[in-house]
Amino acid sequence: MRRRKTAVAAGCCLAFLLGTLLNLLFIPGSEHPPPRDGTPPSPPGAPLYPPEEEGGGGRAALAQQIRERYEEVLRYRQHRAAAGRRPLRPRERRLMDLAPPRTSAEQPGPRGRAAAGPRAGASAELSLEPPLLGCRDIRNVSGVQYLGSGYTKAVYKAVLNRTLAVALKAVDFGGHDIAHCVRQFSALGDCYRLAAYKIVKEMILLQRLRHANVLQLYGYCYQDSNDIPDTLTTITELGSPLEMIQLLQTSWEDRFRICLSLVRLLHYLAHSPLGSVTLLDFRPRQFVIVDGELKVTDLDDASIEESSCTSNSDCFMEFPARNFTLPCSVEGRCQSMNEKRNLYNAYRFFFTYLLPHSAPTSLRPLLDKIVNATGELHWGIDETAAQLERVLNLYKSGEYLQNTTRMPKAEYRRVPEAFIPDENYRCWPSYHHKGCLLSVFDVNEAIEICDSYSQCKAFVLTNQTTWTGRQLVFFKMASNHIMPDPDKITYVKVTD
């Protein structure tokens, strides 16, 4: 009996996973025909209606949750931090044409089923720009690979038209949110709608928060799946998962780039068109790396709500290792709480591990100052961003080397248009896992590095540079075999 129950449970899990995958790829997408007036159609299934109640209890609670989530999405669509609402462009699509109809429990008078037709004055524009990619594109996918899932979404990697690698996101039918809701309300379709609003919210935020460190939204598709009409799949830029253990093994320059990317993102979020945005679910898994840059990928738990207060004690922020109390403003809002929450999370998840470790010696005092100031929340995001940009300028310009003693311990012979193919030794951190490949500002810094390694007998300047423009150099343990190469210059140690 126990084996039979285990087998049934395993079968259910597999069915949910296959259902989500079929939702993404293999169920025919329902693309609405264009209207007769020539304007683009609304995405299929645009109105995500709450359940029509048959009276009482659990379904009323579910209907209320759907309505609240709908209204949250509506706020993000309509919110302007400092400008009036722009007119809709003719070719914009609507994600939802009508606000959810009132349920029978909310209607005045006799109880009954909610009206199904459109209602005057109930329209709520939740429009997005026409997507670059849609249902037709994800029908021609290859190389589908499951990447992971959270409470709400499952994410897959796919290649469109054999050229463009993208991420596909959809509600995970086997995820926590759907499973918990179905257990509580026994209404899969309405539970799906509740979860789908989180994806709709994320789509709106991805379009409204345009920044180099926010993942790009390429498009979306509505299609029928799992007996549910119009399930939603989003198509986004693909990034690599952020693995902290791997990051700790990379060069300081690359780790600094991650922290700089994060601070630039947080500076933008603090001054975004929506106002100050906080990431309530702030963990490394909410970010990806695209071409060396950190980008936020998960925005369904972002918030622009500023905490209200009557005294400073209402502005309490609790973290596992520290607690903070922020001042309550005369307007009755906790000052900079969204900004400070983001900043302290950046400190505890990123700065403490990535910034000071193996940094150039002359930069460490400034980096320690940045880490300490953010850990105590003495600085806001503006000052933090300014100080990290200062570090970048010192590093790129070579000014950080001016206060160091740079007297060569040995003499070197310059061999132009030559390189040493072998004679590698390993150093850490290195850009090459089988050799010692480091970045330098100039030849003098390369000589200083070679002098600091007892096994170093030569080095080769390559024509490759890092993201800061610094030159990559191979350090060698011998120079017995030198080969011609017009793009490289070799320096050989002649005296110790």
Which residues does the annotation mark as catalytic? 281
Q: For residue 158, what are its two tokens?
A: 């796919």
Residue with tokens 């310009």, as numbered in its chain? 397
C-beta of residue 167 within 8 angstroms of C-beta of residue 239? yes
DSSP letters spanning 219-280: EEEEEEETTEEEEEEEEEE--EE--HHHHTTS-HHHHHHHHHHHHHHHHHHHTBTTB--EES
CB 246 within 8 A of CB 36: no
Q: What is the DSSP letter of 347?
A: I
What's the CA gap between 339 and 324, in Å, rounded? Answer: 13
Note whether 184 and 202 are within 8 A (CB). Answer: no
Look at residue 341 and give its three-state secondary structure.
helix
Round to whole Å and give the CA distance between 263 and 175: 32
With CA atoms as reference, report the closest residue to 472 among 245, 248, 244, 251: 251
Q: Please provide the size of the chain in residues.
A: 496
Phi, psi values for residue 486, rounded to 5° = -65, -15
Helix (H) or strand (E) holding 22: helix 2-24
Residue keyed to tokens 């709709």: 200
- Locate all alpha helices (DSSP H) within 79-125, ordered by sequence: none
- Per DSSP, the three-state class of 199 is helix
Omega prior to 429 cis, within 30 of 0: yes
Task: Return the percent helix, strand and coil in the chain, to nearest 5.
Answer: 35, 25, 40
Query: Is 305 in contact with 368 (CB distance < 8 Å)?
Result: no
| Radius of gyration of the chain from its Cα atoms, rounded to whole angstroms | 28
Q: What is the largest CA-CA distance in the chain?
A: 99
CA-based torsion, 207, 211, 214, 219: positive or negative: positive
